[in-house]
Structures are given as C-alpha cells and as structure tokens.
Amino acid sequence: MSNLLEIKNLTIGIHENGGEYTAVDDISYEVRRGEILGIVGESGCGKSITNLAVMGLLNDQLSVTGGEIIYHEPAPKTAENEPPKPAPPPVDLARVSARERQHINGKEISMVYQEPMTSLDPLMKIGKQIAEPLKLHGVNSKPGVKLSKEEIHARVLKAMNDVGIPEAERRMELYPHQLSGGMRQRVVIAIATICHPRLLIADEPTTALDVTIQKQVLALLKRINRQYRTSIVFVSHDLAVINQICDRVVVMYAGRIVETGPTREILEHPGHEYTKGLIRSIPRREEKGTPLPNIPGQVPSTTEQRDPCPFAPRCALAADLCRQQVPEAVEVGPEHMVYCHMISRKQGEET
C-alpha cells in the first residue's frame, strides 16, 4: 500500500502569555491508502493538534515550527481511452498557500469534529450546509461542467442516505437545532464526505454521543472506508473503540509518539509501558469487581519541562538514560515500533 500522507518530524509550538512551548515534538507517521489509522492518547497529548495542523485549522496560539506534512495527491481519474495522467507533485500541507488549502480542504481531506452540537451553522438549513463543499469544489462526474441545481439536490440526498439520515428529503429543510446529536454528527460526516475525499480525519467523532449511536457511527465510518477507499485517521482516547475499526495504531503521549503498529499486534503484545497501562485500564468482563488499574501520576502540562522520554516520570522501568536521551524507534514485531530505551537495551542484551 502506498502512502497518502506522510508526517515527517512534525513539531508544533504554542505561544501563549509570552512564552513558547512545544505541543507536538518531532513526530513522524504515515497514512496509507485505504487504511483506517487510529491515533490514541490521553487528552492533551497532541493528537487533535496534529490533525488540525493537517487541516490547516490551528488557532492563533499554535503554529507548525518544524517538519513536513506531505500529501501525495493520487493521479486524476481518466476515461478508459485516454492515457493515464501523472500524479501531481506531492505538497507540503504545512506550507501551502491559502488558495491551495481551499482547494484541498473538503475535496481531498476532510474532517469530522468532536462536538456535533457546535460544528454546524445554526442559521443554515442542513441541506444547504451539506451542499456547500460540492458548490465550492464543483466536483462533477464530467470535468469542466458546472453542477446544476437538480444535480446538487440529488447528490445531497444521496450523501444523506449514505450516512443513514432517514427522511432525507424532509430533513434537508431543517435547521441543526432540530436534530439530535447523533443526527447532527451524521450531517457533519455527510458534509465531510460528499466530495469523496481521499482522507477523512475523524477527531473523537463518537465521544459526545450515546453508546448505541457510537456503534452506528463507527459502522458508518467503516462503510465509507470500504465503499470509497477513503483513508481514515481515527483519533480517540479509547483503545476499545480503536480496536473496533482501526487497521493500525499510533500511540501518543505528551506530544510524542511512543508506539506504532498493527492494532492486533499492539493490543496483544504492547511494548511501551504507557501502552501497557492503557490496555490494562480497558474494563474487562472477567475482572468485574476488581478495581480498574490506572497509571499512577499525571500527564505533564505543555508548559512543564519534559524529560526526553516524556513518560519517564510515570514509568516503572525508567532509568537515568530515559531522562538524558530521546529514545529511538525499536522494531519489536512486524511493522511494530516502540520508542523505549529499556526495550532497545533488552534487545541489545539478547543479541
């Protein structure tokens, strides 16, 4: 599978109250074509910020201070008798112009947000809101032809049906406050997917929803992924949810990546002490009645001085090395990387 998005040594700084801090520190990962990649970590670990940077939606206090976000736009579709066109050159999303950004957002990359209650314009009918990306990007089956009103209407209806909004024709005329949270999140997903983007970023899309609705939304995302081969980055703090839909996982802690690998591999053989802690704190039926284990200590705030291995203060295995040197990636299984000195030391001893 080829890479759609490559994050290389990305660093994001916060400037507030006159000080400069680091929110995301030198992280690298890639999103492959057609996969669902999970990003997991406690709130404040930088997972949302990283994805907002991909979308160019960082607020005024945040800015990319280093690294690259490379987007490989696939070759445009051509008719059967035409010769295939070459893929456009890769773009660095951290440095695109405002105009290029407007072309990419909504068409190539889209995002679904955590709060369905506030993500919609309260004064615009939802049909119009779903149609907006279509109108902006003029996505059409035949290139160069402007979309007609009827066509837009039909596409909006289809998008609403796709995300499972019943009575779409009637609901198009409603305003956001007339819909439930689950319905609103479906509307947000319809807005994000109506142009069939190559990459969909879902930032905790189910956190604000009821458990039953959560399941439906997860199923919907999975279907979008299968049906349109849309790559999905699924951000969550909940490994149990990640386990349900993701092919691979990136585990983040305090602005750094601590472990990456296939979901099953990570859940069955976690390498990093932090990942182990996360997995232990998933409630299990057979442990009913016993207290849920947690990771002692707290996530350091962004304004605090961090150790080179940010987990060192809470890690049972931490040694002096962890407070002196940034850990390198160690491969512990197929595609399974762990950023931990203790594991590399153990491997060194074995060989």
User: Closest distance between other proteins and the C-beta of residue 260, in Å?
Assistant: 26
Q: Between the CA of residue 158 and those of 145, 162, 191, 266, 344, what are the distances in Å?
A: 20, 6, 12, 38, 52
Choice between 192 and 246, CB closer to other proteins: 192
| Coil, strand or helix at 35 | coil
User: Closest distance between other proteins and the C-beta of residue 330, in Å?
Assistant: 36
Residue 224 parent element (H or E)? helix 211-228
Choice between 27 and 104, CB closer to other proteins: 104
User: Closest distance between other proteins and the C-beta of residue 185, in Å?
Assistant: 12
Choice between 120 and 251, CB closer to other proteins: 120
Choice between 135 and 323, CB closer to other proteins: 135
Nearest one of 266, 220, 248 to 3, comparing CA atoms: 248
Under the phi-then-psi rule, with left for phi > 0, alpha for psi from -120 to 50, and beta for the rest, what region is 268? alpha
- Walk across the sheet containing 91-92 and list its strands: 19-32, 3-16, 62-71, 91-92
User: Closest distance between other proteins and the C-beta of residue 351, in Å?
Assistant: 48
User: Closest distance between other proteins and the C-beta of residue 115, in Å?
Assistant: 6
User: Closest distance between other proteins and the C-beta of residue 208, in Å?
Assistant: 11
CA distance 230 to 188: 16
Which residues lie near other proteins (CB under 8 A)?
55-57, 98, 101-107, 110-111, 113, 115, 117-124, 132-133, 136-137, 175, 177-178, 188, 191-192
Choice between 170 and 285, CB closer to other proteins: 170
Nearest one of 193, 256, 233 to 11, comparing CA atoms: 256
Choice between 137 and 341, CB closer to other proteins: 137
Q: How many alpha carbons lie under 13 Å from residue 116 in its C-beta half-sphere?
A: 29
Task: Show the tokens assigned to 296.
Answer: 């002692």
